[in-house]
Amino acid sequence: MRPLTLTRTGSRPCSSTRTTLSEQRGRSAVVEAWAASCGISPTAELHGGDLWHGSGAFVGLIPGIRRAISDDALDALLAAEPLIILRGVARRNLTAVHPHRLAWRYAIENVDEKMERCDGTALVVADEHAEMESALRGDIVEYAQGTTGGWRPRTITRVLRGLRFLSSHEHRLLQAADLVAFLHQRRQTHPTEPHRRAHRAREQHWAKLLPQLVVARLWTPP
């Protein structure tokens, strides 16, 4: 199994994953197939928010088509048998540390724990984030040389230090991470969707992920 780790703080997700070229092509094939049938660009990015709201590359598509695209994209992801770890931090009342770095720490701890149980290692690949890249690289080194700190400090031994930041436009797996992270965040912010069909479709998508889900938590500061 391949770890897919997502952190969510209200903007971009970070992903830790291993994949193969054939799996990457599988997710690209989803977009190419739908491009041929409904006119979207074959290079369209599978952003969760755009698919849900009908924005970006998916403007003008009816909700049923957008949900079907999401469904196919999730199927392509699940074919890789990922281990999904979702950690989030609410920004409210959080002043001592940047929310991205805190969610990042929680996610890395969970990845390291899971890899220890699996007797494996994880290479972290994240979406480009100019503001945080240097800090997150430093955090990985600090976690390996010392501990993660906090109330359950852990020395990271199973996550490689070679953190890579890549463009989501060129990597379907990062787009899949965004899709899953958006789904998790949407369930936190909108427990019940205003439209019955949308709610049912969202919960069906979530149910698909459950067999691969290791943890899904959102911490709200007091």
Q: How far apart are CA 12 and CA 6, in angstroms?
A: 9
Two tokens, residue 22: 């054939």
pTM passes above 0.75: yes
For 90-94, 163-167, 196-200, which range has the lowest pLDDT when averaged over its residues? 90-94
- Region 108-134: what's the mean pLDDT? 93
Question: Which residues make beta-bridge pairs with 85?
Answer: 5, 215
Encode pLDDT of 2-12 as tens digits: 445 444 443 33
For 58-67, 85-94, 149-158, which range has the lowest pLDDT when averaged over its residues? 85-94
Residue 156 has pLDDT above 60, yes or no: yes
Question: Which residues make beta-bridge pairs with 14?
Answer: 7, 126
User: Which residues have C-beta within 8 Å of that of residue 160, sequence separation ≥ 6?
Assistant: 121, 122, 123, 124
Closest among 132, 79, 136, 134 to 107, alpha carbons compared: 136
Closest among 55, 13, 64 to 34, alpha carbons compared: 64
Residue 147 has pLDDT above 90, yes or no: yes
Residue 220 has pLDDT above 90, yes or no: no
Closest among 12, 51, 46, 76 to 198, alpha carbons compared: 51
Q: How far apart are CA 17 and CA 82, in angstroms?
A: 8
